[in-house]
Amino acid sequence: MKSNIMPLYGLERTKLAEAVPLETPFSIFVFPTTFCNFRCNYCGHSMGLSKMKNLYDFEPQHMEMSVYLKVIEQLKAFPSKLKLLSLTGHGEPLLNPKIADMVKIAKESNVAERIEIISNGSLLNKEVADALIDAKLDTLKISLQGMSDKSYLKTCGTEISFEKLIYNLNYYYSHKQQGKLFVKIMDIALDEGEEVLFYNTFENSSDRMFIEKVRPVYSGVNYDLELTTTMDRYGNIHKNRNVCPLPFFMLGIFPNGDVEPCDTIYKPVILGNVKEHSLIEMWNGDILKEFQLSHLLLKRSENSKCATCCAPNDVSHDEDDLDFDAFNLSKIWEHQLLNGRTVDESKVD
């Protein structure tokens, strides 16, 4: 077997409490498009556009290249490279006709250690695969929605040829050079006994494969499941997190250029727009500092979006946990807000 059964996230993690405040975010998620060709029954897209507009102020759009180029230019101002630039978020990235160009520009700009795309894979064909390989994409993560045409119809309301999807994934895997192909599937998209079929299908045609647990990511979606909030999507059990770690190491950028302190659909706070402010200004600015401080002071639930969001319990890892250090860190943040970032943090009690 060539593939490894392991979660698809970055395995080399830094202990976040010892590293913050970060001068450069570890990761940035740029949403190349928020259109999707699927309507998976566990995803916000299953609710339809008018409900998504009402609940999340969400209107699908592609990111224009002019906005993307601003993002890349602004990333060069950070003192270090990002660990990860993910061209992913709330839509199917391959629907953006410029996606391969976006990868190529990011690679040539050398702004991140790794560029990834998370895709449902349905639009992958020889031409798209070749373009992504030529662009030197580091990681293509494929999120499967079933193991047959019938399951796809059931899970995402879309007719596809599963055989063709597998053919195209095999083509990508056998032609890629330095990049990786990771494949995952949600547990609810598998029929009874199909776990083995999933692993057998990808054991020699992926670099990693994993079955994730569906989580109640979208408020408004009726998750007809027994969902515990103390187990993450990788199956790890942990205590509920009080502090959401995401705003301390990442940013999310919507197609219109709006920037949020995570990669959810919720936009708990808008830090600014890349057309008006630079990313480094937003990363070091008071809006984000105030937002982070409110989490450190255990006031997360005062933000209505954060109050209903499961992400801290869904995707946070032990190394990201800030709960234990929240009080001490809050003192650093209070000093920064009073005195600016030039404060010497080693002098804070």
Given the rule CB under 6 A, which residues bind ligand SF4?
36, 38-40, 43, 45, 91-92, 120, 156, 244, 246-247, 261-262, 264, 266, 268, 305-306, 309, 311-312
How far apart, in whole angstroms, are the C-alpha atoms of residue 231 and residue 215? 9
CB of 41 to ligand SF4, least distance (A): 9
HSE-CB at 33 with a 13 A cutoff on CA atoms is 17
- Which of 193, 98, 184, 171 is closest to 143 using CA atoms? 184
Q: Can you state the percent helix, strand and coil of the chain, rounding each to 5?
A: 40, 15, 45
Q: Are 226 and 233 in contact (CB under 8 A)?
A: no
Question: Between 92 and 212, whose beta carbon lies closer to ligand SF4?
Answer: 92
CB of 52 to ligand SF4, least distance (A): 11
Question: Between 32 and 91, whose beta carbon lies closer to ligand SF4?
Answer: 91
CB of 110 to ligand SF4, least distance (A): 28
CB of 120 to ligand SF4, least distance (A): 4
Amino acid (one-letter) located at 120: N
Question: For the purposes of burial, counting CB atoms within 10 Å of the CB of 178, is it exposed (0-12), middle (13-18) or buried (19 or more)?
Answer: exposed
Q: Are 236 and 204 in contact (CB under 8 A)?
A: no
Q: How far is CA 337 from CA 288, 296, 317, in A?
A: 10, 14, 28
Question: Between 45 and 208, whose beta carbon lies closer to ligand SF4?
Answer: 45
Question: Between 2 and 299, whose beta carbon lies closer to ligand SF4?
Answer: 299
Question: Between 85 and 306, whose beta carbon lies closer to ligand SF4?
Answer: 306
Question: Between 16 and 105, whose beta carbon lies closer to ligand SF4?
Answer: 16
CB of 347 to ligand SF4, least distance (A): 29
Neighbours of 258 (CB within 10 A): 16
CB of 204 to ligand SF4, least distance (A): 25
How far apart, in whole angstroms, are the C-alpha atoms of residue 55 and residue 60? 14
Tokens of 295: 């989490």
Question: Between 32 and 261, whose beta carbon lies closer to ligand SF4?
Answer: 261
CB of 346 to ligand SF4, least distance (A): 28
Question: Between 109 and 148, whose beta carbon lies closer to ligand SF4?
Answer: 148
Phi, psi dihedral angles at 183 (to 5 degrees): -130, 130
User: In whole angstroms, what separates CA 95 from the centre of its chain?
Assistant: 17
Question: Between 305 and 317, whose beta carbon lies closer to ligand SF4?
Answer: 305
CB of 303 to ligand SF4, least distance (A): 6
Helix (H), strand (E) at residue 85: strand 82-87
CB of 219 to ligand SF4, least distance (A): 10
- Which of 29, 13, 30, 24 is closest to 80 using CA atoms? 24
